[in-house]
Each structure stands twice: as C-alpha cells, then as structure tokens.
Amino acid sequence: MNAAWSFLLVLMALPPQADIKRPVDDFELNNERLGETLSSFQSLHPKARCISSSKSRKDCYQWEEVSIFGLTAHPASTCSPEKHSSADCAEGLTAQFVDDHLVLLIYAVGGNDKKDASAELKKKYGTPAIDTSEATIWMRKRTLSVVVGKATEGSDGKSLITFMIQG
C-alpha cells in the first residue's frame, strides 16, 4: 500500500472533530435574523413603535427594555418615532422592514468597550474581516458589525456601541 492510501486510511479512522465550526452565512442578534416577518418581530417586541415610511417600508423603534450582551440602553423617556434621530434617543432598537421582511436591525447601547460582545460573536462567527478598537465587522452573504462611536458629532457626544446586521 502506498503512503497516500495509508495517510487516507489514518484520516478516516480519526474521530470527528466536534469543535470545528463551519462559517455561518447568516447572522443573528438576540435570536433575530434578517428576513424575519414584521408580525414575528412585533410579537417579540410589543413595545416597538412602527411607522410606514413608504408603501413597502416600515421603520420600527423601541427604547424601553432594550439590551444586548448584558448592555442596556438608557434613552430619554420622551423618545418617539418623530425624534428617533435626536442624540438623547440614539440608544435603543431600530428595525427596518421592506415588504414585511426585516432588512436592517440595529441595537445601540451606551458604552465604549465592545471587547466582551465581540469575543462572544467571534466564538459564534469566527474571525471577522475587520477588527480594530473602533469596529469589528464580519462580511459574508450579509454584514454584521459592532462599532464604538459617538452618538453625535463633536467630542462631547456620548459613546455608543452599535450592533447591526444588514443585507
């Protein structure tokens, strides 16, 4: 028997490696995936407020009881869909639906250290395409990003960690 056949037989006799993970083509945040229906989202987020921004598009926002990776959002109590882009309403959950299917999901929480959250995501999704102190980004069929930045322009803005999946 030649060396190649011997090597192949040895490989076949090895037990399967349970700790080897295949890359995942799709991402999720808090058990939510792009493509999810609006009704499914609303059942998981009964406090979300959704508005139609066009015939086929709905934007949903939630400020109360939003958390991810042990980090909790602390927005102003006066947040509404009309003021969703103001600095005091930057923390929370934003979801965008086209034809009743989720196409964008963003969690934003106060903070400036994404290390623990990024480590958890690395366990699940492997090595990111970009990994700096400001951003960790996985790019496959869709994109998953964890970014640290200011809620508003200028040096006095509050630091946020945003978790986003988009397709």
Q: What is the pLDDT of residues 98-149, one digit of tens each?
A: 999 999 999 999 998 999 999 999 999 999 999 999 999 999 889 999 999 8
Q: What is the pLDDT of residue 58?
A: 96
Whole-angstrom distance, CA of residue 117 vs CA of residue 64: 21
Structural domain boundaries of the chain? Answer: 23-166
What pTM was computed for the model? Answer: 0.81
With cut-offs at 50, 70 and 90, classify the pLDDT of residue 85.
Answer: confident
Strand-pairing partners, residue 145, are 137, 164
Between residues 85 and 71, which one has the greater pLDDT? 71
- The backbone region for 31, taken as left when phi is positive above 0, alpha when psi lies in -120 to 50, beta otherwise, is left
Q: What is the pLDDT of residue 65?
A: 95
To which residue do tokens 């508005």 refer?
Answer: 51
Q: What is the pLDDT of residues 7-37, one digit of tens each?
A: 333 334 444 444 434 444 589 999 899 999 9
The answer to whether residues 126 and 137 touch, using CB atoms and an 8 Å cutoff, is no
Strand-pairing partners, residue 105, are 95, 165
Q: Taking residues 61-90, what's their average pLDDT?
A: 93
With cut-offs at 50, 70 and 90, classify the pLDDT of residue 155.
Answer: low
Q: Give the rounded percent of residues in the chain with a pLDDT score beyond 70.
A: 81
List the structure tokens of 104. Answer: 């964008």
Which of 54-58, 86-90, 161-165 is predicted least confidently? Answer: 86-90
Q: What is the pLDDT of residue 19?
A: 43
